[in-house]
Every structure is written in structure tokens, then in C-alpha cells.
Structure 1
Amino acid sequence: MSKRFALIGAAGYIADRHMRAIKETGNDLICATDRFDVMGRIDSYFPEAEFFLEHENFEKYMDDLRMAGNPVDYVSICTPNYMHASHIRFALRNGADVICEKPLVIYPRELDVLKEIEKETGKRVNTVLQLRYHQTILDLKKKVDAGGDKMYDVDLTYMTTRGKWYFKSWKGEMEKSGGVATNIGIHFFDMLTWIFGAVKENVIHVYEADKAAGYLQLEKARVRWFLSLDARDLPAYATERGMRTFRSITVNGDEVEFSGGFTDLHTVTYQNILNGNGFGLDDARESIVLTDYARNTKPVGLKGDYHPLLKG
């Protein structure tokens, strides 16, 4: 049976994947909202959906639907990171289940509050952890699970360069984005802890506005990680090819290639949520605690086992 959806943050780039997932799973987008008023993209998926610029009007429409006995079933949330917690509360209290982009929230304490509201309302919060559905990542997890207590050495390097606009937007504000480790690293940290187990030790070597690096001791892995928004950190061959993004994960020296295969992962995510197999608050906790610690801990500098790129 078709489900009824609402979407908050409809103008964000990631919202397009959510609209497509709603469409491809055979469901309907009833209403959407965003402060940005250029919303032509919605015409490709749900041209009949109601659209609101002011959240107050969107909230009234949601109330009217609920009072008329025709509420939405799900609210999808694609807003800036710092808005997630309040928008999740709004959705739950309006009697809807939630599908929220990562990071689900910025602060671990928000997870506890949302867990209580889940109990009060009987509704569920689902988060988008699409790397857990990537076939290469699934194969790696299967291999690690079969390896028993074997330990692995992992290097994570991710650079996604940004222009000056970035630091004038909410993304450049620690309180709104959670900082660089949260904003660009949360899905990698979720992936690593999902595969290799919980955090046993968390060392921060560098934490700046445009880059961060550290060391993680997980149950089954020793992880050196480096994240950057700075184009000067790109490898020479990437710069020569005009690449603005560089991604590398090695496990015991072998490259894990997963640059492709992302096209349909939001749709797969929606299919699993609709079947009752989504990832919830507890699934998101490990990576949220990890990144919260990273931004609130004084970096130790170049001590111990740090990422090779820091030598430069």
C-alpha cells in the first residue's frame, strides 16, 4: 500500500535522492518545505505536491491533514545538520515515522531525548546509512566477520575540496555542522565501526576548520584517518587530472575500491525502512559519539601512530 510522505529541506542537493527514492518505491510526496523558493526539481517527481516556504504554514498543513484523519506516514528530513533534532521532534509529535539524513544529530545527548519521544509517540526514527548497503562494503564486512578476532590495519583518506563559500555557510560553523569530522566524515566512521567494531581508543592528532586527522583503535582494526577540505592536500596526480575529490581506504595495504555503486543506495535504504529493516537511533550512536569526542578533544599533535599525510 502506498505511503504518504512529507519532506523538509526540499531544496538541498541530497533531497533529490530522497524524492527519487519515494517515487521508485511506489509512494507519494504529499507536501514539502524549504526556505529556498526555486523548486523546479520537484516537478520531475511530484508536481502535485504542496510546497511551503514558511515552516509555520507547513506545520499548519500537517496539522490539518492529521485532524482530517489523513496524516502523512513518513517525514523525510534533508535540512542542515543543526536542524535535524528539532525537525525529528516535530515529525514524531505529528504522528509520523522519520527518515533523516546523516548525521542524524550532532550531539549524543540528543539521541537520548529522541529515544524518549519515540517511546511516547510509538513512532520510529530511521537514518540514512547507505554505505551499509554498498556491495563492496558488504563483502568487506563478511570477510572481517569470517576472520574471527583477526586485527586489521586501515588507512582512511578523504578529501573533498570546498571554495570560500563553504566557510560563510552553516557548514563552516562548528555549532551548526558539527565540524569537519562530522560534516564529511560521519558516514565513513559509521562504516568503519559497523565493520570493525566499537571504539576502544580515540586519539585526535589534528582538528582544524578545514581538516582533521586521528587514530582509532577498534575491536578489529587500527585506523589512521585524514579528512580535508583543502585542495592543497590533494595528491599531485589528482590535481593534475583536475580532480576535486579524493577517496581512499586501504585494509592491510590493499585498496578497497568503492567509488561506484552509489546510484541507487537511497532507494535501497527506503525499501529497507519501509520493510521494517531500517537503521535507527542506536545504530547511529557510535559514529556520533566518536565525532563529538573528536571536536571536543585537544589534539595531541604528531605523536603516536598518525596518518602518513601528516608528515608533510
Structure 2
Amino acid sequence: MKNFALIGAAGYIAPRHMKAIKELGHNLSIGYDTNDSVGIIDSISPDSEFFTEFERFQEHAYRLKRNPSTALDYVAVCSPNYLHHSHIAAGLRMGCDVICEKPLVPTPELLDELANVEKETGQRVYNILQLRHHEAILKLKEKVANENRSEKYQVDLTYITSRGKWYMESWKGDPRKSFGVATNIGVHFFDMLHFIFGKLEKNVLHYANDYKACGYLEYEKAKVPWFLSIDANDLPDEVKGKQTTFRNISCEGDQIEFSAGFTDLHTISYQEILAGRGYGIEDARHCVETVHHIRTAQPESPAENEAHAFLKKLI
């Protein structure tokens, strides 16, 4: 049985980490968050310690190290994006391996810095890249590999997930903390595209503001116009008033359907990490480089056949 600490215990994604730890028979020893709305712990791990100050959390973790049976083995990081680097480094220096949500860090340079801390401490960082474990994604990856065709696949990525006014008041709406829409809601999909279609060869931004972004990605095996938005006004007319989210990811016109099967992906990710098969810094590098380029690029006019269909609504 391994002992875990959880940083960001009040966050949206934290319960999936708590559930994974419990279902795999391990112990959530400590939770930490500046927000104390963590009642979910009562139904998953009621005996866990909890702190709202990092100093008290860290001091308690150091005391646990005195006894091999209580010493922490892993720190899970579910804090806001801009704090990932600091919390990962702190976990490594506490003598723990670290499991962190996406995006691992905002820039390739910070990936290199984490690699240095890994060397200094002898510990490892693992990134939750859960779509790589989804059955539909694995089947498509296998299909693409087996077909081995010379012509690139035509892929369309459209993801609109409506967010209320609260979003812009939270850290997610602050590009200094979330690193913007393309990073905050797009990094999952960009990693998935790389996982299936190989190395990125072209990355062009066509439009971006605080609420939406679109562009064009070209991989070894695919051409991908993409559109991401948190603005309900971007929902297609046929779904407005009926649903708040619209997701269309298609390959050669065939829908990639992975709406089901999400609930257990964190548990599978933990299982793989604990078995020594987790995704580390170099596995995360590709999607970090992708979103870093998008975030720092200047929008360009699209080349022929590279514009997403929704772009014409924006310009």
C-alpha cells in the first residue's frame, strides 16, 4: 500500500484522483487546498489529514517521513495550471514521485527545469494523459498504424464547452494562470492527436481571444483544422437550447466517439503509473510545445483548405 498526498483537493478533478487511490487499495494520507470545500473526502477517505496552509501541509509530510510505514510515496497535483511547476518541484524535493494533471507546465523550458529536479532528487514526474488509455482512441491508433497509408487523414476537431460568467472570474479565465483556452481545454486533444497521428509538422493560429481559438495542425499522418470555445454563442443552431457542450472529432468523416468510458481513465492511469508504465516528462513534451506555440503565435490568414468551418463566423 502506497501513501499519497493530494495538492488541490478542492478542485474539480480531485475526486477522480481520490477515487483512483481508494479503488487501487492505497491510502490518501493528506489533502491540501487553500479552499476548504472538500467534503467529498468524507465519502472517499474520511481519515485523511487536511490543511489549508502549504507550510502546515509540508511540515506534516516531513514528520511522516520519520516512519517508513507513514512516509509519503506520491504527491498528486490538481492545483491551478500556473502552480503545477512549483507544486511538482516541492513534491519531488519531499522525496516523492509526483502525478500531475495537464498541462504539466506551460513551457518547454520548465519541462527542462523539472527534468533537472528529477535528477537532483532521484524522483519521477508523471503526467495524467488519460485519453491515451481510452478504448476508442487506442482502436483508432491501431487502425491508423495498420493502414499505413501514404495520404494524410483529414481530421476535424471542434470542441465547444459553454462556461458561465463565473469562469472569467476564476483562475481559469485569467491567461496568466490558466494560459488561455487553447491550453486549458485543448491540451488533452492535442496530446491525443499526437498520440494517434505522430509528430507535429505544422502549427498555425488563425484566431484567438479570451473565449475561443482556432487554427490548423498538421501531423505526420493527419491534417487537422481545430476550433475550441467556451462561448455558448458558438454552439451550432441545431443544439442551442438543448445542450451546453458540442464536441465533434472526426476522421475522414467518421465520428470518433469517446463520450463514454471517461469515469475510469484516472484509475487506469494510476494503475499504469504504479506498475512503472506511466507517462513522464518527455511524453508530455509534445503537447506542451504545441500549446506554447499556439499561445505565443500571431494569428495568420489560413492557407487554402486549412481553415476550420467556424472561422468564417469570427472574421
TM-score computed with the length of structure 2 as normaliser: 0.96
State the SS of the aligned residue for 1:236. Answer: coil
Aligned to 1:288: 288
Cα deviations by residue, 1:222-244 (Å, 9 ceiling, x for unpaired): 11100001101101121141x11
Helix, strand or coil at the partner of 1:309? helix
Q: In the alignment, what sits opposite 1:66? A: 65
Aligned residue type for 2:217: L
Give the corresponding residue for 1:197. Answer: 198
Q: In the TM superposition, what is the alpha-carbon distance from 1:303 to its structure 2 partner? A: 4.3
Gaps of 5+ in 1: none
Equivalence for 1:85: 85
Residues 41-88 of structure 1: CA deviation (Å, up to 9, x unaligned): 101111111100101100111111124444200000100000000000
Match of 2:260 in 1: 260
Per-residue deviation, residues 110-166 of structure 1 (Å, max 9, x unmatched) = 100001111111111011111011100000000011122432010000001111111
Q: Which amino acid aligns with 1:161?
A: S
Asked if the contact 1:302/1:310 (under 8 Å) is kept, the reply is no
In structure 2, the residue matched to 1:50 is 49
Worse-superposed segment, 24-33 or 164-173: 164-173
Q: Secondary structure at the match of 1:239?
A: coil
Partner of 1:17: 16
CA distance in 2, matches of 1:307, 1:274: 40
Q: Residue 127 of structure 1 corresponds to which residue in structure 2?
A: 127
Task: Indicate whether 1:109 and 2:76 are aligned.
Answer: no
Question: Residue 160 of structure 2: SS of its match in structure 1?
Answer: strand
Task: Determine the C-alpha separation between the residues in 2 that align with 1:207 and 1:120.
Answer: 39
CA-CA distance at 1:252 after TM superposition: 0.9
RMSD: 1.1
The 2-side partners of 1:214 and 1:258 are apart by 23
**Mean Cα displacement is larger for which, 300-309 or 49-58?**
300-309
Q: Which residue of 2 aligns with 1:309?
A: 310
Instruction: Give unpaired runs (5+ residues) of structure 2.
Output: none
Matches of 2:267 and 2:248, distance apart in 1: 25
Give the fraction of aligned pairs with identical amino acids, expressed as a percent: 54
The one-letter code sitting in structure 1 at the alignment partner of 2:59 is: K
The match for 1:27 is 26
Say whether the 8 Å CA contact 1:103–1:183 is kept in structure 2.
yes
Report what 1:229 is aligned to. 230
CA contact (8 A) 1:205 1:303 kept: no
Helix, strand or coil at the partner of 1:40: coil
SS at match of 2:189: helix
- Count of residue correspondences: 310
Runs of 4+ in 1 over 2 A off after TM superposition: 67-70, 301-304
Alignment partner of 1:269 is 2:266: no
Larger deviation, residues 61-70 vs 40-49: 61-70
- In the alignment, which residue of structure 1 is the partner of 2:153? 152
Residue 248 (structure 2) pairs with residue 248 (structure 1):
yes
- Residue 189 of structure 2 aligns with an amino acid whose one-letter code is F
**By how many angstroms is 1:302 displaced?**
4.5
Letter of the 1:179 partner, please give it.
Answer: G
